[in-house]
Structure 1
Amino acid sequence: MAFLEISGLRKRFGAVDILKGIDLELEKGGFLVLVGPSGCGKSTLLNTIAGLETITSGDIRIDGRDISGLHPSKRDIAMVFQSYALYPNMTVAGNIAFGMEIRGVPKEERAKAIKQVSDMLQIGHLLDRKPSQLSGGQRQRVAMGRALVRNPQVFLFDEPLSNLDAKLRVDMRTEIKRLHQRMGTTFVYVTHDQIEAMTLATKIAVLKDGVLQQFGTPAEIYNSPANLFVADFMGSPAMNLLTATVENGASGLAVALERPNGAPLRLPVVSGNHGLSAYAGKPVIFGIRPEALTDPDGADRKARSLTEDDCLIEVVEPAGSDTFAVTKLGGKSVVARLRADAGIAPGQNTRLAFNLDKAVFFDPDSQMRIA
């Protein structure tokens, strides 16, 4: 049975629909990440779970209990905000303990809770400092500590790392994942950063314009995107999305990609992709991720369908552990992810391997994935 259930949730501001019928289910102890571009409705959805926004229609249940009409204080949730929301005149210990003090928790219990969470978050040496004396990462830990002492059923995080620099963001991401694994509590986390979504989540909900585009595990979202938006949004570098023509020849289905100054590149389609048969002679959108387009020595030898061909390299981008190469196919720039020591140079014709096990196809009109 799902622990957090959201059914038919709609939110309207005046005549504008912000959330358009959201349905989600999350198991107890799961980590749900709400991801999407700015303005997609993810923070509004989080605020409806918190009770900071009323809903227009639908239901929100936690552990079978309908919380849709409850005051935020009655929902047994704790929230960590993007802005930290710390009291500047209080010490770290005071900030962590403030909520407990308001609720009348005895001083001995407060001291025990402060010790426990400060040890967990490694901020015990900061308890006597004021927020102005802390770094961004330390302030974020204090905000998390204040939520942790509540021991709620659900933790809500609203873009908690967006104010941090890149390296600290990676470090704090690891800390949040470690915290979730240690506590086993249900987390709901909002971000516009799809790398955060992929690394933290047990389930991801991708939103666009208030509509749930896809809901699934990180592997499902990444490897089997439901539509062009999800395919393009999730992944860094993004999936290569190219116009191709489906051909049905004696040897089976293939897709043909135009390339500059040469015959089209024909790639056989993995057997079993029966949905493509209806598109014979028609255009489709062919999607392949950069890591499925690589140098032959770096290709996955377990792939059932691996095709090699020469491609003219236009740009080479060394990236430490990888080398990214840009070629042109289907009238667009295409990114290939090669080994660091692949030894290629711009202007060369280079042999590339296409792992077609990883290819996906989309209808150019509906933009939905072809089964």
Structure 2
Amino acid sequence: MSFLKITNLRKSYGALEILKDINIEIEEGGFLVLVGPSGCGKSTLLNTIAGLEPITSGEIAIRGRSVAGLPPSQRDIAMVFQSYALYPNMTVAGNIAFGMEIRGVPKDEREKAIKQVADMLQIGHLLDRKPSQLSGGQRQRVAMGRALVRNPQVFLFDEPLSNLDAKLRVDMRTEIKRLHQRMKTTIVYVTHDQIEAMTLATKIAVLKDGVLQQFGSPADIYNNPANMFVADFMGSPAMNLLQAKVFQNGDGLAVALARPDGEPLKLSVAHAPAALGAYRDKEVVFGIRPEALTDPDGADRNARALVEGDCLIEVVEPAGADTFAVTHLGGKEIVARLRADVPITAGQNARLAFNLDKAVFFDPQSQLRIA
């Protein structure tokens, strides 16, 4: 049985519909990340789970019990906000203990819980300080500690790392992942950062304009995007999406990709999805991740369908562990991810290997993946 289940959920403000028929479920101990661009409805969805926003229709159930009409205090959830929401006049210990004091937890139990979470979050040396004396990362740990002492059924995180600098975000992301692995508590986490989503989640829900675009594991979302929005949004650099024409090639299919100068680049598509046959002599959108477009010596030797082609390299971007090369195919600028030491020069042709095991195809009109 699903631990947290959201069924046919809708949320409207008057005539404006914010969430449109959302269906999501997560197992106990799962880490669900709600991801999408600003204004997609992810924070509103989190607030409906928390009870901070009433739903217009649908159902929210935790451990098989409907919580749709319950106030936040009766849902057994704890929330960590983007703004930390700490009391400035209280110490770290006071902030962590405040909720327990309100609930009448005995002092010895409070002190034991404070020590436990302080040790877990490595903030024991900060317990006598005020929030104004803490860094952003330390304040976030205190906010997490205040939630942890509640020992709730579900933790809710609303973009908790967005106020931190880049390095601290990475460090705190690791801490949250370690915390989840240790406690095995159910977490729902909101972010607009798809790297956070990929690294933290056991399941990802991608939202756009209040509509659930895809729900699945990080690997499924990344490798088998349901539509062009998911393909473009999830991944850094983003998936290359280019116009291609499907044609018959012997007993199989191939795609032709226009080049700025010269003949189109033709790639034989082994193991093509069965539905691609319906697009013979038609245009499709051909999707391939930058890491599946690389120098021949750096290509995946286990790939069943490696096809090579010459491309004019326009820009070379060394990036430490990798080198990114920009070329034009299918009427678009696309990015290849190469080995760091590969000899490649802007303005010259280079041989690139296409791993077509990793290629996906989309209908240009519906923008849905051709399965």
Q: CA deviation at 1:343?
A: 1.7
The within-5 A match list for 1:273-284 is 273-284=273-284
Q: CA deviation at 1:272?
A: 4.5
State the AA in 2 paired with 1:41.
G
| Separation in 2, partners of 1:207, 1:218 | 14
Deviations 1:271-321 (A, max 9, x none): 241111000110000000000000011100110000011111000011100
Q: Is the 8 A contact 2:296 2:353 kept in 1?
A: yes
Q: CA deviation at 1:187?
A: 0.3
| Separation in 1, partners of 2:236, 2:209 | 22
**In the alignment, structure 1 residue 161 sits paired with structure 2 residue 168:** no
Deviations 1:50-94 (A, max 9, x none): 000000000000000100000100000000000000000000000
Deviations 1:239-258 (A, max 9, x none): 00000000013241001000
**In the alignment, structure 1 residue 14 sits paired with structure 2 residue 14:** yes
Q: CA deviation at 1:261?
A: 1.1
| Separation in 1, partners of 2:340, 2:252 | 35
State the AA in 1 paired with 2:308.
E
| Separation in 1, partners of 2:362, 2:258 | 17
**In the alignment, structure 1 residue 51 sits paired with structure 2 residue 59:** no
Residue 321 of structure 1 is matched in structure 2 by: 321
Total equivalences in the alignment: 371
- Gaps of at least 5 residues in structure 2 are none
The within-5 A match list for 1:328-367 is 328-367=328-367
Residue 244 of structure 2 is matched in structure 1 by: 244
Residue 83 of structure 1 is matched in structure 2 by: 83
Residue 290 of structure 2 is matched in structure 1 by: 290
State the AA in 2 paired with 1:210.
G
| Separation in 2, partners of 1:62, 1:267 | 49
Query: Secondary structure of 1:138's match?
Result: helix
Residue 5 of structure 1 is matched in structure 2 by: 5
| Separation in 1, partners of 2:55, 2:166 | 35
State the AA in 1 paired with 2:115.
K
Q: CA deviation at 1:262?
A: 1.1
Q: Is the 8 A contact 2:249 2:268 kept in 1?
A: no
| Separation in 1, partners of 2:25, 2:278 | 34
State the AA in 2 paired with 1:80.
V
Query: Secondary structure of 1:204's match?
Result: strand
Residue 95 of structure 1 is matched in structure 2 by: 95
Deviations 1:82-113 (A, max 9, x none): 00000000000000000000000000000000
Q: Is the 8 A contact 2:202 2:217 kept in 1?
A: yes
Q: Is the 8 A contact 2:293 2:337 kept in 1?
A: yes
| Separation in 2, partners of 1:238, 1:251 | 32
Residue 172 of structure 2 is matched in structure 1 by: 172
Q: Is the 8 A contact 2:32 2:204 kept in 1?
A: yes
Residue 129 of structure 1 is matched in structure 2 by: 129
The within-5 A match list for 1:129-278 is 129-278=129-278
- Gaps of at least 5 residues in structure 1 are none
State the AA in 1 paired with 2:14.
G
State the AA in 2 paired with 1:327.
T
Regions of 4+ moved over 2 Å: none
Query: Secondary structure of 1:314's match?
Result: strand
State the AA in 1 paired with 2:236.
S
Deviations 1:348-370 (A, max 9, x none): 11110000000000000000000
| Separation in 2, partners of 1:255, 1:367 | 18
| Separation in 1, partners of 2:183, 2:271 | 44
**TM-score when scaled to structure 1?**
0.99
| Separation in 1, partners of 2:280, 2:102 | 68
Query: Secondary structure of 2:83's match?
Result: coil
| Separation in 1, partners of 2:262, 2:361 | 24
| Separation in 1, partners of 2:297, 2:170 | 31
State the AA in 2 paired with 1:34.
L
Query: Secondary structure of 1:366's match?
Result: coil
| Separation in 2, partners of 1:331, 1:251 | 28
The within-5 A match list for 1:52-67 is 52-67=52-67
Deviations 1:179-233 (A, max 9, x none): 0000000000000000000000000000000000000000000000000000000
| Separation in 2, partners of 1:182, 1:109 | 21
Q: CA deviation at 1:140?
A: 0.1
Q: CA RMSD in A?
A: 0.6
**TM-score when scaled to structure 2?**
0.99
